[in-house]
């Protein structure tokens, strides 16, 4: 089967839900607002090896914040702590001003804090439509018994999920691939499927882990378009990437080196920081 290259659909997104999770307060947008996501004094060790020390990172509402650093600097560990896949040895993770350090990945996801992975994670034997429907799991109410017995409420939910998945596919330029098994797609299209699945549940905070990994230049430009478009729609983003070209989308960048933040500011500012130049270039 031939796989057509992903076309970029720049149509307007459907309105994002404005009501916050009932467990969390609404963070006011704009300058001076409390950051949507904060890592405060994060420290972590593996055995006797310290990999993070007193790391502070903030993601203001509506911003794209980058986390960059050389290999082995602790970016992945920091990202996994932010997303709930790892618990820090010290420090706290705050989301909308609430300490969520002990929250599970599922609870964070239900509250609107979701992530993608360095290697696109799709269900390879499921269609693109079915992959997108998985992203709506938190909106279901009928439970597995109702689904198993095909009760009216479950059938109605399934119909709504399918319709929203189709609308999301149109939004992300995936409509022509809805019935294609996700495992047959090239890396660039898998990445967009993963991004669309993350966004179908209308999150407030998106964590992207090396999203350009394995993509060619054209696919990276498509990815850049969607990161900027989603941010323009109000989505806050924490971006971890080694791709300096992609990092130009960031409002603010944080440089991690041997487990410590050595510079914070615009990308131009951190690139000119002598500590960053020494870390990357040895000059």
One digit per residue, the tens of pLDDT, for the chain of length 283 reads 433 333 334 333 333 333 333 334 333 334 455 799 999 999 999 988 999 999 999 999 999 999 998 888 899 999 999 999 999 999 999 999 999 999 999 899 989 999 998 888 899 999 999 999 988 876 666 665 556 656 677 677 788 889 999 999 999 999 999 999 999 999 999 999 999 999 998 899 999 999 998 899 999 999 999 999 999 999 999 999 888 889 999 999 999 999 999 999 999 999 899 998 887 766 5
CATH for the 37-120+203-281 domain, from 1.20.1250.20, 3.40.50.300, 3.80.10.10, 3.30.465.10: 3.40.50.300
Sign of CA dihedral 16, 17, 20, 21: negative
Which phi and psi (to 5°) does residue 170 adopt?
-60, -45
| Domain range list for the chain | 37-120+203-281, 123-184
Which two tokens mark 79?
């990202």
Task: Quote the CA–CA distance of 69 and 75 in Å, as a whole number.
Answer: 7
Q: What is the pLDDT of residue 24?
A: 42
pTM higher than 0.85: no
Alpha helical stretches, state H, the chain: 75-83, 105-110, 128-134, 143-148, 152-171, 187-200, 217-232, 267-272, 274-281
Task: Quote the CA–CA distance of 123 and 174 in Å, as a whole number.
Answer: 16
Residue from 250, 137, 237, 246 nearest 197 by CA: 137
Residue from 205, 204, 178, 203 nearest 192 by CA: 178
Which phi and psi (to 5°) does residue 275 adopt?
-70, -35
- CA 121: distance to chain centroid? 12
The angle that helices 187-200 and 217-232 make with each other, rounded to 10 degrees, is: 10
End-to-end CA distance of the chain: 51
Structural contact between residues 226 and 195, judged by C-beta atoms closer than 8 angstroms? yes
Residues in the chain, how many?
Answer: 283
Q: What is the pLDDT of residue 266?
A: 92
What SS3 class is residue 247? helix
């Amino acid at each position: 089967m031939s796989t057509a290259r992903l076309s970029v659909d720049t149509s307007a997104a459907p309105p994002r839900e404005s009501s916050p999770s009932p467990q969390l307060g609404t963070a006011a947008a704009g300058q001076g607002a409390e950051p949507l996501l904060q890592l405060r004094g994060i420290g972590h060790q593996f055995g006797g090896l310290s990999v993070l020390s007193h790391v502070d990172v903030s993601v203001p509402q509506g911003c794209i914040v980058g986390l960059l650093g050389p290999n082995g600097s602790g970016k992945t560990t920091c990202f996994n702590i932010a997303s709930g896949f790892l618990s820090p040895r010290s420090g706290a993770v705050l989301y909308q001003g609430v300490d969520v350090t002990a929250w599970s990945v599922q609870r964070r996801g239900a509250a609107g804090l979701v992530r993608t992975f360095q290697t696109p994670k799709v269900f390879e034997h499921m269609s693109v439509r079915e992959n997108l429907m998985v992203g709506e799991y938190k909106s279901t109410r009928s439970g597995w018994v109702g689904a198993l017995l095909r009760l009216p409420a479950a059938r109605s939910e399934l119909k709504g999920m399918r319709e929203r998945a189709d609308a999301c596919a149109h939004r992300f330029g995936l409509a022509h691939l809805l019935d294609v098994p996700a495992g047959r797609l090239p890396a660039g299209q898998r990445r967009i499927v993963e991004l669309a699945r993350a966004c179908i549940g209308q999150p407030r905070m998106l964590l992207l882990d090396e999203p350009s990994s394995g993509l060619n230049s054209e696919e990276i430009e498509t990815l850049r378009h969607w990161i900027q478009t989603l941010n323009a729609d109000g989505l806050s983003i924490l971006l971890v990437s080694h791709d300096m070209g992609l990092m130009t989308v960031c409002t603010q960048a944080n440089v991690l080196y041997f487990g410590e933040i050595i510079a914070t500011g615009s990308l131009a500012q951190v690139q000119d920081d002598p500590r960053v130049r020494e870390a990357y270039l040895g000059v």
